[in-house]
Structure 1
Amino acid sequence: MGGLLKSSVAKKFAMALSGLFLVLFLAQHFTINLTSVISPDTFNEISHFMGTNFVVQAILQPILIFGVVFHFIMGFVLEIQNRNARAKSYVSYNGSANSSWMSRNMIYSGAVVLAFLGLHFYDFWVPELAHKYIESHPEDATRYYGELVSKFVSPVRTGLYVVSFVFLMLHLLHGFSSSFQSMGVNNKYSEGIRKFTVGYAIIIPLGFIFIAAFHYFNNL
Structure 2
Amino acid sequence: MGGLIKSSIARKVAMALSGLFLVFFLLQHFTINFTSIFSEDTFNELSHFMGTNPLVQFVLQPVLIFGVVFHFVMGFILEIKNRNARAVKYAKYNGGANASWMSRNMIYSGLVVLAFLGLHFYDFWVPEMVHKYVDFAPEDPTRYYTELLHRFESPVRTGVYILSFVFLALHLWHGFASSFQSVGFNNKYSVGATKFAKAFSIVIPLGFIIVAIALHFTH
- What TM-score, normalized by structure 2, do the two folds share? 0.98
1:191 aligns with 2:191: yes
| Total equivalences in the alignment | 219
For residues 130 and 84 of structure 2, what CA distance do their matches in structure 1 show? 43
For residues 63 and 72 of structure 2, what CA distance do their matches in structure 1 show? 14
Query: Alpha-carbon deviation of 1:196?
Result: 0.2
Query: Alpha-carbon deviation of 1:207?
Result: 0.1
What does residue range 31-70 of structure 1 map to in structure 2 within 5 Å?
A: 31-70=31-70
Query: Alpha-carbon deviation of 1:3?
Result: 2.3
**Residue of structure 2 in register with 1:71 after alignment:** 71
Gaps of 5+ in 2: none
Residue 144 of structure 2 aligns with an amino acid whose one-letter code is: Y
Residue 123 of structure 2 aligns with an amino acid whose one-letter code is: D
Identity of matched residues, %: 71
**Residue of structure 2 in register with 1:129 after alignment:** 129
**Residue of structure 2 in register with 1:162 after alignment:** 162
Query: Alpha-carbon deviation of 1:96?
Result: 1.1
Residue 34 of structure 1 aligns with an amino acid whose one-letter code is: F
**Residue of structure 2 in register with 1:119 after alignment:** 119
Change (3 A) 1:142 1:107: same
What does residue range 67-146 of structure 1 map to in structure 2 within 5 Å?
A: 67-91=67-91, 93-146=93-146
For residues 26 and 3 of structure 2, what CA distance do their matches in structure 1 show? 31
**Residue of structure 2 in register with 1:171 after alignment:** 171
3-state DSSP of counterpart to 2:77: helix
Q: Encode CA deviations 1:80-101: one digit per residue, 9 max, x unaligned.
A: 1111111224346321111001
For residues 79 and 206 of structure 1, what CA distance do their matches in structure 2 show? 28
Query: Alpha-carbon deviation of 1:6?
Result: 1.7
Do 1:109 and 1:167's aligned partners in 2 also have CA atoms closer than 8 Å? Answer: yes
Gaps of 5+ in 1: none
**Residue of structure 1 in register with 2:2 after alignment:** 2
Q: Encode CA deviations 1:151-174: one digit per residue, 9 max, x unaligned.
A: 000000000000000000000000
For residues 61 and 112 of structure 1, what CA distance do their matches in structure 2 show? 22
Query: Alpha-carbon deviation of 1:2?
Result: 2.8
- What TM-score, normalized by structure 1, do the two folds share? 0.97
